[in-house]
Protein backbone atom coordinates (compact mmCIF):
# COMPACT_ATOMS: atom_id res chain seq x y z
CA UNK A 1 0.00 0.00 0.00
CA UNK A 2 1.41 3.39 -0.99
CA UNK A 3 -0.35 5.54 1.58
CA UNK A 4 -1.74 4.82 5.01
CA UNK A 5 -3.90 7.78 6.16
CA UNK A 6 -2.87 9.38 9.42
CA UNK A 7 -5.40 10.02 12.14
CA UNK A 8 -7.11 13.18 10.96
CA UNK A 9 -8.71 16.07 12.70
CA UNK A 10 -11.18 17.10 10.03
CA UNK A 11 -11.95 20.76 9.40
CA UNK A 12 -15.13 21.91 7.72
CA UNK A 13 -13.66 24.27 5.16
CA UNK A 14 -10.49 25.65 3.54
CA UNK A 15 -9.75 29.35 3.50
CA UNK A 16 -9.21 30.12 -0.17
CA UNK A 17 -9.04 33.74 -1.24
CA UNK A 18 -11.28 33.13 -4.24
CA UNK A 19 -14.00 31.68 -1.99
CA UNK A 20 -14.20 35.05 -0.22
CA UNK A 21 -14.93 36.94 -3.43
CA UNK A 22 -18.35 38.31 -4.19
CA UNK A 23 -20.47 35.62 -5.90
CA UNK A 24 -20.11 36.72 -9.54
CA UNK A 25 -16.32 37.13 -9.44
CA UNK A 26 -15.97 33.85 -7.52
CA UNK A 27 -17.90 32.05 -10.24
CA UNK A 28 -15.80 33.62 -13.02
CA UNK A 29 -12.52 32.78 -11.24
CA UNK A 30 -13.60 29.18 -10.80
CA UNK A 31 -14.68 29.07 -14.44
CA UNK A 32 -11.12 29.95 -15.47
CA UNK A 33 -9.79 27.09 -13.35
CA UNK A 34 -12.39 24.72 -14.77
CA UNK A 35 -11.44 25.74 -18.30
CA UNK A 36 -7.89 24.61 -17.50
CA UNK A 37 -9.26 21.17 -16.61
CA UNK A 38 -9.79 21.48 -12.86
CA UNK A 39 -12.76 19.44 -11.68
CA UNK A 40 -15.89 21.55 -11.15
CA UNK A 41 -16.88 19.29 -8.28
CA UNK A 42 -13.51 19.93 -6.61
CA UNK A 43 -13.95 23.67 -7.01
CA UNK A 44 -17.41 23.47 -5.46
CA UNK A 45 -16.41 21.18 -2.58
CA UNK A 46 -14.77 23.30 0.12
CA UNK A 47 -13.71 20.13 1.95
CA UNK A 48 -11.65 18.95 -1.04
CA UNK A 49 -8.19 20.55 -0.84
CA UNK A 50 -6.70 22.14 -3.95
CA UNK A 51 -2.99 21.32 -3.86
CA UNK A 52 -0.48 23.33 -5.86
CA UNK A 53 2.38 21.37 -7.42
CA UNK A 54 5.21 23.92 -7.68
CA UNK A 55 7.51 22.12 -10.10
CA UNK A 56 10.96 23.26 -11.24
CA UNK A 57 11.22 20.60 -13.95
CA UNK A 58 13.34 21.32 -17.01
CA UNK A 59 15.57 19.50 -19.50
CA UNK A 60 18.69 21.53 -18.69
CA UNK A 61 19.44 20.59 -15.09
CA UNK A 62 20.08 16.86 -14.51
CA UNK A 63 18.68 17.12 -11.00
CA UNK A 64 15.40 18.42 -12.40
CA UNK A 65 14.83 16.31 -15.50
CA UNK A 66 13.11 13.54 -13.44
CA UNK A 67 10.70 15.96 -11.77
CA UNK A 68 8.05 15.72 -14.52
CA UNK A 69 7.52 12.04 -13.69
CA UNK A 70 7.67 12.69 -9.96
CA UNK A 71 5.03 15.41 -10.28
CA UNK A 72 2.75 12.80 -11.84
CA UNK A 73 3.35 10.60 -8.80
CA UNK A 74 2.60 13.48 -6.44
CA UNK A 75 -0.70 14.03 -8.26
CA UNK A 76 -1.62 10.38 -7.78
CA UNK A 77 -1.05 10.75 -4.05
CA UNK A 78 -3.11 13.94 -3.88
CA UNK A 79 -6.01 12.31 -5.73
CA UNK A 80 -5.86 9.13 -3.63
CA UNK A 81 -6.07 11.22 -0.45
CA UNK A 82 -9.09 13.14 -1.71
CA UNK A 83 -7.47 16.31 -2.99
CA UNK A 84 -7.23 17.99 -6.40
CA UNK A 85 -3.70 18.71 -7.80
CA UNK A 86 -2.88 21.80 -9.88
CA UNK A 87 0.65 22.08 -11.34
CA UNK A 88 2.72 25.07 -12.38
CA UNK A 89 6.40 25.53 -13.16
CA UNK A 90 9.27 27.76 -12.13
CA UNK A 91 12.92 27.98 -13.21
CA UNK A 92 15.97 26.01 -12.09
CA UNK A 93 19.61 26.57 -13.05
CA UNK A 94 22.35 23.94 -12.92
CA UNK A 95 25.40 25.24 -11.05
CA UNK A 96 27.58 22.62 -12.72
CA UNK A 97 26.83 24.04 -16.16
CA UNK A 98 27.26 27.61 -14.96
CA UNK A 99 30.71 26.96 -13.41
CA UNK A 100 33.70 28.92 -14.62
CA UNK A 101 31.95 31.64 -16.62
CA UNK A 102 29.87 34.77 -16.10
CA UNK A 103 26.64 32.79 -15.99
CA UNK A 104 27.49 31.72 -12.44
CA UNK A 105 26.62 35.27 -11.36
CA UNK A 106 22.94 34.38 -11.91
CA UNK A 107 22.82 31.27 -9.73
CA UNK A 108 22.42 32.85 -6.30
CA UNK A 109 20.10 35.64 -7.56
CA UNK A 110 17.82 33.04 -9.11
CA UNK A 111 17.09 31.72 -5.59
CA UNK A 112 15.13 34.94 -5.00
CA UNK A 113 13.40 34.67 -8.39
CA UNK A 114 12.13 31.19 -7.56
CA UNK A 115 10.88 32.17 -4.11
CA UNK A 116 9.20 35.26 -5.53
CA UNK A 117 7.66 33.36 -8.45
CA UNK A 118 6.14 30.78 -6.10
CA UNK A 119 4.76 33.56 -3.93
CA UNK A 120 3.31 35.37 -6.95
CA UNK A 121 1.66 32.24 -8.33
CA UNK A 122 0.34 30.76 -5.09
CA UNK A 123 -0.70 33.91 -3.26
CA UNK A 124 -1.64 35.74 -6.44
CA UNK A 125 -4.07 33.09 -7.65
CA UNK A 126 -5.52 32.64 -4.17
CA UNK A 127 -7.06 29.24 -4.86
CA UNK A 128 -4.70 26.80 -3.14
CA UNK A 129 -4.95 25.03 0.21
CA UNK A 130 -1.54 23.35 0.26
CA UNK A 131 1.63 23.02 -1.79
CA UNK A 132 4.05 20.30 -2.84
CA UNK A 133 7.33 21.87 -3.96
CA UNK A 134 9.49 19.88 -6.38
CA UNK A 135 13.14 20.90 -6.62
CA UNK A 136 16.47 19.14 -6.34
CA UNK A 137 19.44 21.45 -6.64
CA UNK A 138 21.60 24.06 -4.97
CA UNK A 139 19.48 27.23 -4.92
CA UNK A 140 16.12 25.69 -5.76
CA UNK A 141 15.58 23.74 -2.54
CA UNK A 142 16.35 26.75 -0.30
CA UNK A 143 14.24 28.99 -2.54
CA UNK A 144 11.28 26.67 -2.11
CA UNK A 145 11.80 26.45 1.65
CA UNK A 146 11.83 30.25 1.71
CA UNK A 147 8.61 30.33 -0.29
CA UNK A 148 6.99 27.76 2.00
CA UNK A 149 7.94 29.85 5.03
CA UNK A 150 6.70 33.08 3.46
CA UNK A 151 3.38 31.71 2.19
CA UNK A 152 2.78 29.35 5.15
CA UNK A 153 0.30 27.01 3.49
CA UNK A 154 0.63 23.33 4.46
CA UNK A 155 3.62 22.20 2.41
CA UNK A 156 6.26 19.55 1.83
CA UNK A 157 9.22 19.18 -0.53
CA UNK A 158 10.16 16.45 -3.01
CA UNK A 159 13.56 16.08 -4.70
CA UNK A 160 14.62 13.62 -7.38
CA UNK A 161 17.39 12.14 -5.20
CA UNK A 162 21.04 11.42 -6.05
CA UNK A 163 22.05 9.51 -9.15
CA UNK A 164 23.92 6.22 -8.82
CA UNK A 165 27.70 6.35 -9.26
CA UNK A 166 29.67 3.50 -10.82
CA UNK A 167 33.11 4.81 -9.89
CA UNK A 168 34.55 6.31 -6.73
CA UNK A 169 34.78 10.08 -6.30
CA UNK A 170 38.57 9.78 -6.35
CA UNK A 171 38.41 8.11 -9.78
CA UNK A 172 36.32 10.99 -11.14
CA UNK A 173 38.79 13.44 -9.60
CA UNK A 174 41.72 11.59 -11.19
CA UNK A 175 40.07 11.83 -14.60
CA UNK A 176 39.74 15.60 -14.25
CA UNK A 177 43.35 15.85 -13.16
CA UNK A 178 44.41 13.93 -16.28
CA UNK A 179 42.53 16.41 -18.44
CA UNK A 180 44.16 19.39 -16.70
CA UNK A 181 47.54 17.73 -17.32
CA UNK A 182 46.72 17.32 -21.01
CA UNK A 183 46.50 13.53 -20.73
CA UNK A 184 42.77 13.11 -21.52
CA UNK A 185 40.54 14.47 -24.25
CA UNK A 186 37.29 16.34 -23.75
CA UNK A 187 35.31 13.31 -24.94
CA UNK A 188 37.15 11.06 -22.50
CA UNK A 189 36.23 13.41 -19.66
CA UNK A 190 32.58 13.45 -20.72
CA UNK A 191 32.31 9.69 -21.14
CA UNK A 192 34.29 8.99 -17.96
CA UNK A 193 32.23 11.45 -15.93
CA UNK A 194 29.07 9.62 -17.03
CA UNK A 195 30.30 6.74 -14.90
CA UNK A 196 30.10 9.09 -11.92
CA UNK A 197 26.97 11.00 -12.97
CA UNK A 198 25.29 7.97 -14.53
CA UNK A 199 22.01 9.67 -15.41
CA UNK A 200 19.46 12.28 -14.37
CA UNK A 201 19.55 12.98 -10.65
CA UNK A 202 21.39 15.04 -8.09
CA UNK A 203 25.20 14.87 -8.40
CA UNK A 204 26.27 11.99 -6.11
CA UNK A 205 28.66 13.91 -3.86
CA UNK A 206 27.73 15.88 -0.74
CA UNK A 207 27.51 19.19 -2.56
CA UNK A 208 24.99 21.90 -1.85
CA UNK A 209 22.16 20.05 -3.60
CA UNK A 210 22.37 16.88 -1.52
CA UNK A 211 23.22 18.91 1.58
CA UNK A 212 20.06 21.00 1.25
CA UNK A 213 17.99 17.88 0.55
CA UNK A 214 19.35 16.25 3.69
CA UNK A 215 18.74 19.40 5.74
CA UNK A 216 15.18 19.65 4.45
CA UNK A 217 14.53 16.13 5.69
CA UNK A 218 16.15 16.95 9.01
CA UNK A 219 14.13 20.14 9.25
CA UNK A 220 10.94 18.10 9.02
CA UNK A 221 9.77 19.46 5.64
CA UNK A 222 10.30 16.18 3.77
CA UNK A 223 9.22 12.59 4.40
CA UNK A 224 11.79 10.31 6.09
CA UNK A 225 14.35 8.97 3.56
CA UNK A 226 13.06 11.59 1.11
CA UNK A 227 16.50 13.15 0.62
CA UNK A 228 18.47 10.11 -0.47
CA UNK A 229 16.21 7.59 -2.21
CA UNK A 230 18.17 7.31 -5.49
CA UNK A 231 16.68 9.06 -8.50
CA UNK A 232 16.22 5.92 -10.59
CA UNK A 233 14.30 3.87 -8.01
CA UNK A 234 10.66 3.02 -7.52
CA UNK A 235 11.07 4.06 -3.88
CA UNK A 236 11.76 7.59 -5.10
CA UNK A 237 8.46 7.53 -7.01
CA UNK A 238 6.58 6.05 -4.05
CA UNK A 239 8.01 8.76 -1.79
CA UNK A 240 6.71 11.45 -4.15
CA UNK A 241 3.29 9.78 -4.17
CA UNK A 242 3.19 9.59 -0.38
CA UNK A 243 4.15 13.26 -0.18
CA UNK A 244 1.13 14.28 -2.23
CA UNK A 245 -1.12 12.38 0.18
CA UNK A 246 0.72 13.77 3.20
CA UNK A 247 0.11 17.38 2.17
CA UNK A 248 -3.62 16.71 1.79
CA UNK A 249 -3.52 15.34 5.32
CA UNK A 250 -1.57 18.40 6.53
CA UNK A 251 -4.26 20.67 5.09
CA UNK A 252 -6.98 18.79 6.95
CA UNK A 253 -4.98 18.89 10.18
CA UNK A 254 -3.87 22.50 9.60
CA UNK A 255 -0.15 21.70 9.96
CA UNK A 256 1.78 24.58 8.45
CA UNK A 257 5.47 25.34 7.80
CA UNK A 258 5.49 27.69 10.80
CA UNK A 259 4.53 24.69 12.96
CA UNK A 260 7.45 22.67 11.58
CA UNK A 261 10.26 25.16 10.90
CA UNK A 262 10.69 26.41 14.45
CA UNK A 263 13.83 27.69 16.16
CA UNK A 264 14.36 24.24 17.67
CA UNK A 265 14.06 22.64 14.22
CA UNK A 266 16.58 25.12 12.78
CA UNK A 267 19.02 24.31 15.58
CA UNK A 268 18.53 20.60 14.88
CA UNK A 269 19.27 21.28 11.22
CA UNK A 270 22.58 23.00 11.99
CA UNK A 271 23.57 19.98 14.09
CA UNK A 272 22.72 17.72 11.16
CA UNK A 273 24.75 19.95 8.83
CA UNK A 274 27.75 19.71 11.15
CA UNK A 275 27.35 15.94 11.56
CA UNK A 276 27.38 15.16 7.84
CA UNK A 277 30.06 17.75 6.99
CA UNK A 278 27.72 19.46 4.54
CA UNK A 279 28.15 22.36 2.17
CA UNK A 280 29.20 25.82 3.34
CA UNK A 281 26.49 27.22 1.09
CA UNK A 282 24.01 26.10 3.74
CA UNK A 283 25.32 29.02 5.79
CA UNK A 284 23.87 31.52 3.35
CA UNK A 285 20.63 29.56 2.83
CA UNK A 286 19.77 28.82 6.46
CA UNK A 287 20.12 32.49 7.57
CA UNK A 288 17.94 33.50 4.60
CA UNK A 289 15.32 30.94 5.63
CA UNK A 290 15.52 32.09 9.24
CA UNK A 291 14.76 35.64 8.14
CA UNK A 292 11.64 34.47 6.29
CA UNK A 293 10.54 32.70 9.48
CA UNK A 294 11.38 35.57 11.83
CA UNK A 295 13.92 33.31 13.56
CA UNK A 296 17.69 33.41 14.07
CA UNK A 297 20.51 31.49 12.42
CA UNK A 298 23.72 33.51 12.65
CA UNK A 299 27.25 32.42 11.89
CA UNK A 300 28.15 32.78 15.56
CA UNK A 301 25.30 30.42 16.48
CA UNK A 302 26.47 27.97 13.83
CA UNK A 303 30.09 28.15 15.06
CA UNK A 304 28.99 27.43 18.61
CA UNK A 305 27.20 24.27 17.43
CA UNK A 306 29.85 23.06 14.96
CA UNK A 307 32.64 23.57 17.50
CA UNK A 308 31.22 20.72 19.60
CA UNK A 309 29.44 18.56 16.98
CA UNK A 310 31.54 15.76 15.48
CA UNK A 311 31.55 14.98 11.75
CA UNK A 312 30.37 11.37 11.60
CA UNK A 313 30.16 10.74 7.83
CA UNK A 314 32.85 10.04 5.22
CA UNK A 315 30.97 11.33 2.19
CA UNK A 316 33.06 13.23 -0.37
CA UNK A 317 34.63 15.80 0.04
CA UNK A 318 35.13 14.47 3.59
CA UNK A 319 36.05 11.01 2.31
CA UNK A 320 35.92 8.83 -0.81
CA UNK A 321 32.33 7.59 -0.81
CA UNK A 322 29.15 9.10 -2.26
CA UNK A 323 25.65 9.94 -1.10
CA UNK A 324 24.52 6.58 -2.48
CA UNK A 325 26.72 4.98 0.19
CA UNK A 326 25.06 7.20 2.78
CA UNK A 327 21.64 6.08 1.51
CA UNK A 328 22.65 2.42 1.76
CA UNK A 329 23.96 3.04 5.29
CA UNK A 330 20.53 4.14 6.49
CA UNK A 331 20.19 7.66 5.10
CA UNK A 332 19.30 10.72 7.11
CA UNK A 333 17.09 8.76 9.57
CA UNK A 334 20.22 6.81 10.53
CA UNK A 335 22.22 10.02 11.00
CA UNK A 336 19.43 11.58 13.07
CA UNK A 337 19.17 8.42 15.16
CA UNK A 338 22.92 8.57 15.78
CA UNK A 339 22.78 12.17 17.03
CA UNK A 340 19.33 11.86 18.61
CA UNK A 341 20.65 12.77 22.05
CA UNK A 342 21.67 16.21 20.79
CA UNK A 343 18.34 16.97 19.10
CA UNK A 344 15.02 18.41 20.20
CA UNK A 345 12.88 15.47 19.11
CA UNK A 346 9.59 17.15 20.06
CA UNK A 347 9.53 19.16 16.81
CA UNK A 348 6.71 18.52 14.31
CA UNK A 349 7.30 17.09 10.82
CA UNK A 350 5.30 16.72 7.60
CA UNK A 351 4.36 13.18 8.63
CA UNK A 352 2.09 14.69 11.28
CA UNK A 353 4.35 13.09 13.87
CA UNK A 354 7.22 14.50 15.88
CA UNK A 355 10.83 13.83 14.96
CA UNK A 356 11.07 11.53 17.95
CA UNK A 357 8.09 9.51 16.77
CA UNK A 358 9.63 9.22 13.30
CA UNK A 359 12.81 7.83 14.86
CA UNK A 360 11.08 5.22 17.00
CA UNK A 361 11.93 1.58 16.37
CA UNK A 362 15.02 -0.05 14.95
CA UNK A 363 16.91 1.83 12.23
CA UNK A 364 19.68 -0.20 10.60
CA UNK A 365 22.93 1.79 10.48
CA UNK A 366 26.16 0.92 8.66
CA UNK A 367 28.85 2.19 11.04
CA UNK A 368 31.53 2.05 8.33
CA UNK A 369 29.74 5.05 6.77
CA UNK A 370 27.95 6.68 9.72
CA UNK A 371 30.25 6.62 12.73
CA UNK A 372 29.21 7.09 16.32
CA UNK A 373 29.90 10.50 17.81
CA UNK A 374 32.54 9.07 20.16
CA UNK A 375 34.42 7.28 17.39
CA UNK A 376 38.06 8.49 17.34
CA UNK A 377 37.60 9.53 13.70
CA UNK A 378 34.58 11.71 14.53
CA UNK A 379 36.11 15.13 15.11
CA UNK A 380 34.29 18.40 15.74
CA UNK A 381 34.77 21.67 13.86
CA UNK A 382 33.86 20.30 10.45
CA UNK A 383 32.83 23.87 9.61
CA UNK A 384 34.53 26.90 11.10
CA UNK A 385 33.97 30.63 11.13
CA UNK A 386 37.29 32.48 11.03
CA UNK A 387 37.90 36.04 12.19
CA UNK A 388 40.82 38.45 12.11
CA UNK A 389 41.92 41.69 10.50
CA UNK A 390 41.24 40.14 7.08
CA UNK A 391 37.67 39.10 7.97
CA UNK A 392 36.30 41.37 10.71
CA UNK A 393 32.78 39.93 10.30
CA UNK A 394 33.83 36.38 9.55
CA UNK A 395 34.79 33.93 6.80
CA UNK A 396 33.92 30.26 6.34
CA UNK A 397 36.02 27.15 5.82
CA UNK A 398 35.06 23.47 5.61
CA UNK A 399 37.71 22.17 7.97
CA UNK A 400 36.72 18.54 7.43
CA UNK A 401 37.98 18.84 3.83
CA UNK A 402 41.28 20.60 4.69
CA UNK A 403 44.42 18.43 4.96
CA UNK A 404 45.71 18.30 8.54
CA UNK A 405 49.10 19.73 7.50
CA UNK A 406 47.37 22.94 6.36
CA UNK A 407 45.43 23.69 9.53
CA UNK A 408 48.15 26.21 10.34
CA UNK A 409 49.32 27.95 7.16
CA UNK A 410 51.25 31.02 6.04
CA UNK A 411 51.88 32.20 2.51
CA UNK A 412 52.37 35.15 0.21
CA UNK A 413 49.32 36.80 -1.33
CA UNK A 414 48.71 36.87 -5.05
CA UNK A 415 45.71 39.10 -5.67
CA UNK A 416 43.07 38.90 -8.40
CA UNK A 417 39.99 41.04 -8.88
CA UNK A 418 37.95 38.29 -10.52
CA UNK A 419 37.83 34.54 -11.09
CA UNK A 420 38.81 35.14 -14.71
CA UNK A 421 42.05 36.89 -13.70
CA UNK A 422 42.97 33.95 -11.46
CA UNK A 423 42.35 31.44 -14.26
CA UNK A 424 44.49 33.49 -16.66
CA UNK A 425 47.40 33.47 -14.18
CA UNK A 426 47.05 29.73 -13.63
CA UNK A 427 47.01 29.01 -17.35
CA UNK A 428 50.11 31.17 -17.77
CA UNK A 429 51.90 29.20 -15.02
CA UNK A 430 52.19 32.28 -12.82
CA UNK A 431 50.89 30.75 -9.54
CA UNK A 432 53.63 29.21 -7.41
CA UNK A 433 53.54 26.74 -4.48
CA UNK A 434 52.86 28.37 -1.12
CA UNK A 435 50.69 31.08 -2.66
CA UNK A 436 47.58 32.52 -1.06
CA UNK A 437 45.36 33.16 -4.07
CA UNK A 438 43.09 36.06 -3.11
CA UNK A 439 40.07 36.41 -5.40
CA UNK A 440 38.00 39.46 -4.53
CA UNK A 441 35.05 41.43 -5.91
CA UNK A 442 33.13 38.17 -6.19
CA UNK A 443 30.77 38.86 -3.27
CA UNK A 444 27.00 39.40 -3.52
CA UNK A 445 27.34 43.08 -4.46
CA UNK A 446 30.79 43.05 -6.01
CA UNK A 447 30.25 40.14 -8.38
CA UNK A 448 27.46 40.91 -8.56
CA UNK A 449 25.86 37.59 -7.74
CA UNK A 450 28.52 35.87 -5.57
CA UNK A 451 29.98 33.32 -7.97
CA UNK A 452 30.85 29.84 -6.82
CA UNK A 453 34.57 29.28 -7.38
CA UNK A 454 34.65 25.49 -7.43
CA UNK A 455 36.79 25.27 -10.57
CA UNK A 456 39.42 27.46 -8.90
CA UNK A 457 39.60 25.12 -5.92
CA UNK A 458 40.03 22.20 -8.33
CA UNK A 459 42.99 23.69 -10.16
CA UNK A 460 44.63 24.91 -6.94
CA UNK A 461 44.79 21.33 -5.63
CA UNK A 462 47.58 20.84 -8.15
CA UNK A 463 49.68 23.61 -6.58
CA UNK A 464 51.33 22.42 -3.34
CA UNK A 465 50.69 24.21 -0.06
CA UNK A 466 48.41 26.78 -1.64
CA UNK A 467 45.24 28.42 -0.31
CA UNK A 468 42.25 30.22 -1.79
CA UNK A 469 40.78 33.24 0.03
CA UNK A 470 37.73 34.93 -1.43
CA UNK A 471 34.58 36.92 -0.77
CA UNK A 472 32.91 34.56 -3.26
CA UNK A 473 31.42 31.12 -2.58
CA UNK A 474 32.47 27.49 -2.90
CA UNK A 475 30.74 24.34 -4.05
CA UNK A 476 29.90 21.80 -1.42
CA UNK A 477 32.33 19.53 -3.27
CA UNK A 478 35.23 21.94 -2.78
CA UNK A 479 38.14 20.81 -0.65
CA UNK A 480 41.61 21.93 0.32
CA UNK A 481 42.40 25.12 2.21
CA UNK A 482 39.58 27.22 0.75
CA UNK A 483 38.37 30.16 2.84
CA UNK A 484 35.39 32.01 1.42
CA UNK A 485 32.22 34.03 2.07
CA UNK A 486 34.55 36.65 3.58
CA UNK A 487 32.70 39.56 5.18
CA UNK A 488 32.58 42.44 4.62
CA UNK A 489 33.15 41.88 0.91
CA UNK A 490 35.73 43.83 -1.11
CA UNK A 491 33.10 45.99 -2.82
CA UNK A 492 32.36 47.54 0.57
CA UNK A 493 36.00 48.55 1.14
CA UNK A 494 36.86 45.80 3.61
CA UNK A 495 40.45 44.67 4.31
CA UNK A 496 40.38 42.09 1.48
CA UNK A 497 40.07 45.05 -0.91
CA UNK A 498 43.32 46.49 0.46
CA UNK A 499 45.60 43.45 0.20
CA UNK A 500 48.51 43.76 -2.21
CA UNK A 501 50.69 41.19 -3.95
CA UNK A 502 53.41 40.02 -1.58
CA UNK A 503 51.52 40.58 1.67
CA UNK A 504 51.91 37.69 4.12
CA UNK A 505 48.71 35.84 4.98
CA UNK A 506 48.17 33.65 8.03
CA UNK A 507 45.41 31.08 8.52
CA UNK A 508 45.25 29.21 11.82
CA UNK A 509 42.30 26.84 12.13
CA UNK A 510 43.34 25.95 15.67
CA UNK A 511 42.56 29.56 16.66
CA UNK A 512 39.73 30.41 14.22
CA UNK A 513 42.05 33.03 12.73
CA UNK A 514 42.65 34.62 9.33
CA UNK A 515 44.88 37.66 9.07
CA UNK A 516 47.19 39.69 6.87
CA UNK A 517 50.52 40.87 8.27
CA UNK A 518 49.89 44.53 7.53
CA UNK A 519 49.54 47.18 10.24
CA UNK A 520 46.33 49.10 10.83
CA UNK A 521 48.18 52.27 9.88
CA UNK A 522 49.25 50.85 6.53
CA UNK A 523 45.76 49.57 5.81
CA UNK A 524 44.40 53.04 6.58
CA UNK A 525 46.83 54.60 4.07
CA UNK A 526 45.79 52.11 1.41
CA UNK A 527 42.12 52.80 2.10
CA UNK A 528 42.62 56.50 1.30
CA UNK A 529 43.67 55.53 -2.23
CA UNK A 530 41.11 52.76 -2.67
CA UNK A 531 38.31 52.78 -5.22
CA UNK A 532 36.07 49.77 -5.82
CA UNK A 533 36.44 47.59 -8.87
CA UNK A 534 33.13 47.55 -10.70
CA UNK A 535 32.42 44.59 -12.95
CA UNK A 536 30.27 45.01 -16.02
CA UNK A 537 26.93 43.38 -15.40
CA UNK A 538 25.00 44.35 -18.54
CA UNK A 539 22.28 45.98 -16.48
CA UNK A 540 19.04 44.12 -15.89
CA UNK A 541 18.76 41.52 -13.15
CA UNK A 542 22.34 41.69 -11.87
CA UNK A 543 22.32 45.47 -11.60
CA UNK A 544 19.09 45.40 -9.59
CA UNK A 545 20.46 42.59 -7.46
CA UNK A 546 23.65 44.49 -6.61
CA UNK A 547 21.62 47.44 -5.37
CA UNK A 548 19.40 45.43 -3.05
CA UNK A 549 21.29 42.34 -1.84
CA UNK A 550 22.60 42.06 1.70
CA UNK A 551 25.70 40.49 3.21
CA UNK A 552 26.59 36.82 2.81
CA UNK A 553 26.60 36.37 6.59
CA UNK A 554 22.92 37.32 6.78
CA UNK A 555 21.95 35.09 3.85
CA UNK A 556 22.52 37.40 0.84
CA UNK A 557 18.86 38.30 1.13
CA UNK A 558 17.33 40.81 -1.28
CA UNK A 559 15.47 43.56 0.50
Catalytic residue numbers read 475
* DSSP state letter for 6: P
Chain centroid to CA 187: 30
The full 3-state SS of 210-271, as one line of letters, equals HHHHHHHHHHCCCCCCCCCCCCCCHHHHHHHHHHHHHHHHHHHHCCCHHHHCCHHHHHHHHH
Q: In sequence order, which residues have a C-beta less than 8 Å from that of residue 407 and are 6 or more positions away?
A: 399, 508, 509, 510
Angle formed by the axes of helices 331-338 and 263-276, nearest 10°: 100
Helices (H), 359-469: 419-427, 454-460
The residues pairing with 514 across neighbouring beta strands, listed in sequence order, are: 507
Q: In terms of C-beta distances under 8 Å and separation of at least 24 residues, what long-range contacts does 345-348 make, across chains too? A: 346/264, 347/220, 347/260, 347/262, 347/264, 347/265, 347/268, 348/220, 348/255, 348/259, 348/260, 348/262
β-pairing, 482-484 vs 155-158, is unpaired
Backbone angles phi, psi at 395, to 5 degrees: -150, 155
* Count of H-run helices and E-run strands, the chain: 21, 12
In terms of Cα–Cα distance, which of 434, 548, 443 is closest to 502? 434
What is the rounded distance in angstroms from the CA atom of residue 484 to the CA atom of residue 53? 36
Amino acid sequence: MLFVPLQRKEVSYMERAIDKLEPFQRAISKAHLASAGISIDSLQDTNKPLIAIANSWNEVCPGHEPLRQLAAEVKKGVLEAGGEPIEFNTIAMCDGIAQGHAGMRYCLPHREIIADSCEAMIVGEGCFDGVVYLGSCDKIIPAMLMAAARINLPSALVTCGPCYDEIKPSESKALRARFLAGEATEREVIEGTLKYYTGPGVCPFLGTANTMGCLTEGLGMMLPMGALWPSSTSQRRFSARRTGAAVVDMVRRNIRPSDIMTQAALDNTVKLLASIGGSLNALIHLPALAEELGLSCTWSQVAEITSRTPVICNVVPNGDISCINLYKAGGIPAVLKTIEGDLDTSVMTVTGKTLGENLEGDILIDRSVIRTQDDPNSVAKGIQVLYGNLAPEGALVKTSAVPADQHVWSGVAQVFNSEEEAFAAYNAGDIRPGTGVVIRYEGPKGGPGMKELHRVTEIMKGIPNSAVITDGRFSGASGGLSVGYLCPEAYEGSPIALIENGDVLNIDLTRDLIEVEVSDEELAKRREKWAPVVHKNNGGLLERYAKSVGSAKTGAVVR
